[in-house]
Every structure is written in C-alpha cells, then in structure tokens.
C-alpha cells in the first residue's frame, strides 16, 4: 500500500529533522520503503510517499522521530492509474 506522509515542522524549522537524517538516516523499519518526497518552499511541510503493507511499521517509524519538532499525518493513497481502472466501468461509452 502507498501512503502520503505529511510532515509538519514546528515553526517551519526543518533543521532538527535534517540533522537527525544526517546522523541516523531515514530510520525506516524493514518493510517500509521510501518512494519520494517534496518540500514546500516555506519549509512548513514535507510530503513523502511511503510504501508499506503493515501500518504498525509506519507507527514504529513515527515514534523514532519524537522530540525533533515534527508531526505526521499518514494518508492512504492510490496511484491515478489504479483509480482510473476503478472508475472506467462507470464512465459509459467514449
């Protein structure tokens, strides 16, 4: 399953998070795959796509980031191509 992980940095300060990444890496448990990420120009939020079949592993990952000024929102997502397959039978003739 794919998840959009939205990280919010306290006071738009991403430096504590970047410091931890530099020191410890992404700290992903086995079974969680980092796909890609994007940062807002204001440094307020980071949008990451993660792949994982067991949500408890994402919970483990989030717990490792306690204390560095970041909060997480985890949203299950589907690829657009997968959604098109679901929607196609409901569209009628082209």
Q: Hey, where are the domains in the chain?
A: 2-90
- Neighbouring CB atoms inside 10 A of 50's CB total 22
pLDDT band at 94 (very low <50, low <70, confident <90, very high): confident
Q: Distance (Å, rounded) from C-alpha 37 to C-alpha 5?
A: 9
Q: Distance (Å, rounded) from C-alpha 16 to C-alpha 62?
A: 15
Query: Taking a C-beta distance cutoff of 8 angstroms, is the pair 80, 13 a contact?
Result: no
Q: Distance (Å, rounded) from C-alpha 32 to C-alpha 61?
A: 9
Q: Which CATH architecture has domain 2-90?
A: 2-Layer Sandwich (3.30)
User: For the whole model, what pTM was predicted?
Assistant: 0.86
Tell me the per-residue pLDDT of 25-64, one tens digit each, with 9 for 90 and over.
999 999 999 999 999 999 999 999 999 999 999 999 999 9
DSSP annotation of 90: G
Q: Distance (Å, rounded) from C-alpha 47 to C-alpha 15?
A: 16
């Amino acid at each position: 399953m794919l998840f959009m992980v939205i990280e919010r940095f306290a006071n738009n300060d991403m430096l504590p998070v970047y410091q931890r990444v530099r020191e410890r890496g992404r700290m992903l448990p086995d079974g969680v795959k980092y796909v890609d990420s994007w940062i807002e120009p204001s440094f307020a939020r980071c949008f990451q796509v993660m792949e994982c079949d067991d949500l408890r592993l994402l919970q483990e990952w989030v717990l490792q980031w306690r204390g560095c000024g970041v909060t997480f929102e985890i949203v299950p997502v589907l690829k657009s191509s997968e959604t098109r397959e679901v929607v196609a039978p409901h569209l009628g003739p082209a």
